[in-house]
Structure 1
Amino acid sequence: MIYATVQDMIDRFGEPEMIQLTDAADQVEVKAARIQLKLDDAHALADGHLGRVYVLPLDGCAKPRVGGWDYVAPPQLTRIVCDVARYYLYDDLAPESEVYRRFKQATTELQAIADGKARLVCPWGGDPGALADQGPASGETWHTFAARQIGADVDGGYR
């Protein structure tokens, strides 16, 4: 599941800021590839925390639309990932800047979710995914393997 898109970043922070951060030389257009790279990093950070609590990938929130449902990331997760990706786009920030404060708040919120002190919520009802302690959601089978024993027939006499 994708938590945030390049368009989410533009919608939240404005096209001028995204141009400034991604096309410093020409200041002409949003360089979507640079934003996507930072979004991928932010997704990985989020998954590292969420994987302690939820089975990944998340199922998503069922958002009603005419004629059915769309499965989307929980809105709070979209905000968190956008704040982290925005921070990653900056090269140098003072700790008192708004971008840095929002990044710290986002990582604190991710940690609270990982620690079980907060949860992802779906504003339209339901759950964003199965809890990790409930086992695999897709019917997967988990296996454990014993360490391989290396004998004289494999190590060629070196011990």
Structure 2
Amino acid sequence: MKYATVQDMVDRFGERELIQLTAGAGAVAVDAAKLERMLADAQAHIDGYVGKVFALPLVGCVKPAPTPQAPTATVLVPPPQLVRFACDVARYYLYDQASPEHEVFVRFKAAQRDLEAIADGKAVLACPWGGEPGLQISAAAPGEGEVMHSFARREITNDSIAGYR
């Protein structure tokens, strides 16, 4: 599942800006291939954080999508937070340089902080329609979260090292 699409980027930041960032001056259309690469890079960046909490790939949120033929139909969509994070991170990747006070950099850092909070368990990745976006990884069972180690205490005394030179 893709967290964000080219259309999501156009809806958030406008076609004019994306044409300038992907295709350059004088172009009349967004370079969709370049934008897709940036979105894929952004998704990989996000997965590095989300993967600490959820098994990847995410299943997605079950969103109602009724039609006259199927009034109870649903679709799987990424959590809305991830759409925003992916768009902000991809946009940041498109900028060659963004000073710390630039809006693009500020949005990237905000997404970064939110992703760190999700990875650390201080925030949740939520589905507004209910349910979970994927299978949560349990840190309580060894092998699925933290690796557990157990070592016996060792004391070094004159008696224990007798015979070694």
Paired letter, 1:63 = K
Q: 1:151 matched to which residue of 2?
A: none
Q: 1:124 matched to which residue of 2?
A: 129
Q: 1:27 matched to which residue of 2?
A: 27
The 5 Å alignment of 1:4-153 reads 4-66=4-66, 67=70, 68-133=73-138
Paired letter, 1:83 = D
Distance 1:106 1:98 in 2: 12
Paired letter, 2:29 = E
Distance 2:107 2:139 in 1: 32
Shift of 1:27: 2.5
Shift of 1:117: 0.6
Which aligned runs of 4 or more in structure 1 are off by greater than 4 angstroms?
none
Could you tell me the TM-score, scaled by structure 1's length? 0.82
Partner secondary structure for residue 70 of structure 1: strand
Please state which structure has a larger fraction of its residues in helix. 1
Q: Mark the CA change 1:2 to 1:134 in structure 2 (over 3 Å): closer, same or farther.
A: farther
Distance 2:107 2:21 in 1: 17
CA deviation digits over 1:68-91, x for unaligned, max 9?
000000001100110000000000
Asked which structure has the greater CA Rg, the reply is 2
Q: 1:144 matched to which residue of 2?
A: none
Shift of 1:13: 0.5
What is the aligned-residue RMSD (CA, Å)? 1.3
Shift of 1:2: 1.0
Paired letter, 1:29 = A
Q: 1:152 matched to which residue of 2?
A: none
Unaligned regions of 5+ residues in structure 1, if any?
A: 136-159
CA deviation digits over 1:21-59, x for unaligned, max 9?
011143311000111111011000000111110011111
Paired letter, 1:105 = A
Partner secondary structure for residue 71 of structure 1: strand
Could you tell me the TM-score, scaled by structure 2's length? 0.79
The number of residue pairs the alignment matches comes to: 135
